[in-house]
Structure 1
Amino acid sequence: MKKDTKQQRANIVNKTLFYIYKNIDTNISLEELAKLNSVSKYHFHRIFKEETKQNLFDFITSIRLQKAANLLITNQYSTISEIANMCGYSSHSSFIKAFKQKFSYTPTAWRKSGHKEYSKNLIGEHRRFDKIDIKIEVSKERFCAYIRHKGYDKSISKTWQKLKALAYEYNLKEYKEIALHHDNPTITPLNECNYVAAIEVPKDFKSNISTLEIPKTLCAVFKLKGVYGDVLAFLRYVYHYWLPSSGYEATTLPSYVIYHKNHFLNEDNQFDLTFYLPVKVIY
């Protein structure tokens, strides 16, 4: 496969995934995704399946249910039907059936306490972060070049190393290292998590690397230092304990971190980061 073809296919997948996450509350069609990428429906569907090893609509369904599972935890004042609609389900009964099939709990049981047991089986016991510094502020928009990574584990370091090498090739000397968490790894099996390693670039940046925009939005902002493994425990605290009683609800926008010290690039496994969680006020 030629280098240009490989890059083109990667750009199609990256643009598609970002579009799906951004518009997960809508009825996403094969036609609109093919049009988005300026290719035929057949060509698009074949590329997506070959590059991701997943069926397109199975993938979309999985994202819908993962988003719903997270919102059922964090958005205590939204009804199950409202959350189903936020994640692209128009039928209440079909949502309940699909949710139970994936998570082995009904949405009601999941919201009550099922998510805690499910999370415990994935990443172990709960830890508290009560003394952490938290602010509510409007985050600015950011433009990023990025590489997508499948799974949440130490193999992410290879993706960061590759991105750092690309920054060197494009003569980017000073930049922020940013990671987007499309999935909540405390309720999504780590090997299924979609992680994005990114570096902030000028708005007019031109390259063959895929780019994205993090929109200006209201965020809960947390500052955290620790070692590899602490992030998972922290995320569970934020989503399962802090957010439900905070007076705010999560949106469908992905959370992200800005690394001041990146544990995926440091041999001591230590990190220093600021975590941004898009939220809306409960009236």
Structure 2
Amino acid sequence: MKEITKEDYVHSVYKVIFYIEANYAQELTLEELAKVAGFSKYHFHRIFRAVSGENIGDYIRRIRLQGTTWKLKIEPKITQIALDSGYETNASFTKAFKKHFGMSPRAFADQLKAKKGVVMVAPKVVNVEPIAVLYVRKTGSYATSACEAWNVLMPFAYEQKMKFHKKIMDKETMHFGIGHDNPNLIEPDLLRYDACISCNDVSVESKGEVFRKVMEGGKCAVFLHKGAYENLKATYDEIGQWIVQSGVKLRDKPIFEKYLNRDPRRTKPENLRTEIYVPIA
């Protein structure tokens, strides 16, 4: 019988984390999540906390609450948002939201809509095809977690290319980043970032912290950020105002970034180009 390693535990917990993120609006039971991980339900919650640093119930609640913040910009029906987020009543949703964000959902929504933003160039609208990617998840402030994730993913990719002669890291390879959390609302040490590269070579096997997934396609509004990554926040603030002013309906999928410079380390900050994709209905 194969001995279970620390890497196996980490891999299993991340499978559950990704499952929760894809299904947080549904009822999630300990038995179901333990089955996804491949562990006994009697021990799984301890394993989850040891790897992630959070209780599984707290993690689910946080993901559900955070998923409502974009909706509050444009959706006036708080009760419907509560139900869509997995809460049985408006009261239970409001109580949890106020505890987490320090204000009621209605006050939060009014605050967002009261802000006046800079009028920006309208985005281009595109239909994105699903993209198979290899990715690494890291948690922490984006400035730190992004570097950590790429520092794991890139050596793995180049090893696959140079040592095992896999079809990866060629001119067609695309580089993406997914920041799952709003740094204005979530503590820095809880921010989740995925570094992703496109890879259609199915013979490249996931290993260690490197996982495989398919980034879902669909209709997106695309904004172009010019300049240093450190200044992305200003562009995201403008995008938030565009969402409010345009009244566009958002899909319940994370915004993602596409990095257009092949080697950012050898590119002057002012010459960096980043496309920001906002999933819309």
What is the alpha-carbon distance in structure 1 between the residues aligned to residue 175 and residue 119 of structure 2? 24
What is the alpha-carbon distance in structure 1 between the residues aligned to residue 10 and residue 238 of structure 2? 34
- Would you say 1:152 and 2:141 are equivalent positions? yes
**Match for 1:200 among 188, 198, 201?**
198
Give 1:269 shift.
Answer: 4.4
| Change beyond 3 A, Cα 1:247–1:108 | closer
Q: CA RMSD in A?
A: 2.6
What is the alpha-carbon distance in structure 2 between the residues aligned to residue 6 and residue 138 of structure 1? 40
Give per-residue Cα distances to partners, 1:40-63, cap 9 Å, x unaligned: 113422221111111011011111
Bigger Rg, structure 1 or 2: 2
Any conservation in 2 of the 1:224–1:273 contact (CA below 8 Å)?
A: yes
| Change beyond 3 A, Cα 1:3–1:159 | farther
Give 1:161 shift.
Answer: 1.9
Give 1:4 shift.
Answer: 7.1
**1:216 is matched with which residue?**
217
**2:253 is matched with which residue?**
253
**2:164 is matched with which residue?**
none
- Would you say 1:163 and 2:153 are equivalent positions? yes
Give 1:178 shift.
Answer: 0.9
TM-score by length of 1: 0.85
TM-score by length of 2: 0.86
What is the alpha-carbon distance in structure 1 between the residues aligned to residue 153 and residue 55 of structure 2? 28
| Change beyond 3 A, Cα 1:129–1:263 | farther
**1:232 is matched with which residue?**
233
SS, match of residue 149 in structure 1: strand
Q: Answer 1 or 2: which has greater strand percent.
A: 1
Structure 2: gaps (5+ residues): 162-167
Give 1:177 shift.
Answer: 1.2
What is the alpha-carbon distance in structure 2 between the residues aligned to residue 275 and residue 4 of structure 1? 40
Give 1:72 shift.
Answer: 0.6
What is the alpha-carbon distance in structure 2 between the residues aligned to residue 249 and residue 147 of structure 1? 29
Structure 1: gaps (5+ residues): 118-125
**1:173 is matched with which residue?**
169
**1:134 is matched with which residue?**
123
